[in-house]
Amino acid sequence: MSHEIIAIDGPAGSGKSTVARAVADSLGWSFLDTGAMYRAVTCEAVFRGIDINDQNAVGDLARSATISTTPRVCVNGRDVEEEIRSEPINVAVSVVAANSQVRESMVARQREMANEQTRGTVVEGRDITTVVFPNATLKVYLTASLEERSRRRGEEGVESVARRDQADFTRETSPLRQADDALVLDTTGRSIEDVVGEIIQCLKNITSS
């Protein structure tokens, strides 16, 4: 069983999902979008009318929910693939992701999910290089200018992306930060192929040394 991990962190719109998916496809590894898990918990809380500020209620929900992210994002058997990207969820997810009970449950699941894979896994999120897999084979921090990141997020808009950045960088529990030994890539003006190529080359350098 291989537990090789490429961990990728970075702010909203930095290209994490697209790049992580492409790296996984190219290596024949699995891919885990951990943001989708926090979004799925948020959808379920809203669906059940739970106050997202009630940390214990949302914590209970996170611990008991069944969550899958492939082929589509589902929570407790309900397909939320489209709903997780809606504006109300973009706003509410920052509160849910700051809940330490939710984080504890998601981190445990993410480690289990990666360990179940027979090949390697590319995992992307905000705390993957620092908390979830600090010993990953390769750690990458992707970034890009706020303008470019907002453009990539389309309808979400610059204010919403900036507000989420602020919440992700300043929250008490596992704030987004660069791991000291991460490969830092600014994707502003760079093509996906170029960034994916650099990550795969870096992995080859690590595994052949």
Q: Which residues bind ligand DC (CB under 6 A)?
A: 12, 34-35, 38-39, 93-94, 97, 125-128, 164, 168
In contact, 102 and 172? CB cutoff 8 Å:
no
C-beta of 165 vs 198, nearer to ligand DC:
165
C-beta of 27 vs 128, nearer to ligand DC:
128
Q: In the complex, what is the shortest distance from the CB of residue 205 to ligand DC, in angstroms, rounded to a whole number?
A: 26
User: What single DSSP character describes residue 80?
Assistant: -
Nearest to 179 by CA among 6, 31, 1: 6
Q: In the complex, what is the shortest distance from the CB of residue 84 to ligand DC, in angstroms, rounded to a whole number?
A: 8
In contact, 84 and 73? CB cutoff 8 Å:
yes
Four-CA torsion 179, 182, 186, 187, nearest 10 degrees: -110
Q: In the complex, what is the shortest distance from the CB of residue 125 to ligand DC, in angstroms, rounded to a whole number?
A: 2
C-beta of 70 vs 205, nearer to ligand DC:
70
User: What single DSSP character describes residue 72?
Assistant: S
Q: In the complex, what is the shortest distance from the CB of residue 67 to ligand DC, in angstroms, rounded to a whole number?
A: 13
Q: Give CA–CA dist 40/79, Å, rounded.
A: 9
- Chain centre distance of CA 180: 19
C-beta of 47 vs 169, nearer to ligand DC:
169
Nearest to 178 by CA among 136, 144, 127: 127
Q: In the complex, what is the shortest distance from the CB of residue 25 to ligand DC, in angstroms, rounded to a whole number?
A: 19
Q: In the complex, what is the shortest distance from the CB of residue 87 to ligand DC, in angstroms, rounded to a whole number?
A: 13
C-beta of 166 vs 201, nearer to ligand DC:
166
Ordered alpha helix ranges (H), 82-145? 87-97, 100-115
C-beta of 97 vs 144, nearer to ligand DC:
97
In contact, 144 and 14? CB cutoff 8 Å:
yes
